[in-house]
Amino acid sequence: MGGAPIDQHKQVLGYCAECDREWGPARREHLGRWLECPENPCHYAAVVRGDTGKHWLRIESWLRTYELKISPVNLLGLKHKAGYWVLIRFVALVFFLIGSSVDSTYLWIPLLCLTGYLLADILIANTSVALFT
């Protein structure tokens, strides 16, 4: 009977963020290593530490899903032309801000929604860059 008690919340383990599956325990030196989920090899799975690591992996997984499916960059087919997208987004935001000063509810509400979508995209894309680089 020796050694430090195992803290279940900080245990190093394999985790799939998409099907909420756990494997483990894993070795500490394998932290951050990508895993292949037996459920689906395309799932987002890695070796993480405890509940905090699982939480961050779920956020990364959501950001990846956003980038691949919901982001306007992908919807407009500009995946490999990020520079064009930054320019288009800037021009669109200026246009929306000018357009929102027009006194028309029919124009104002869709412009506000589009502006919110573009601003959310800027925030999510930058968060994604901060996490993945």
- Asked if 58 touches Zn ion (CB under 5 A), the answer is no
- Asked if 39 touches Zn ion (CB under 5 A), the answer is yes
What angle, 0 to 180 degrees and rounded to 10, lies between the N-to-C axes of helices 105-132 and 82-99?
150
Neighbour count for residue 110 (Cβ, 10 Å): 12
Min dist CB 56 to Zn ion, Å, is 16
- Asked if 43 touches Zn ion (CB under 5 A), the answer is yes
Buried b (16+ CB within 10 A) or exposed e, 83-101: eebeebbeebeeebeebee
Residues in region 7-36 near Zn ion by CB under 5 A? 16, 18-19
Min dist CB 117 to Zn ion, Å, is 29
Query: Residue 67 gets which letter from DSSP?
Result: I
- Asked if 48 touches Zn ion (CB under 5 A), the answer is no
| Inter-residue contact 102 to 108 (CB < 8 Å) | yes
Min dist CB 17 to Zn ion, Å, is 8
* Number of amino acids touching Zn ion (CB under 5 A): 6
- In the complex, the residues that contact Zn ion under the rule CB under 5 A are 16, 18-19, 37, 39, 43
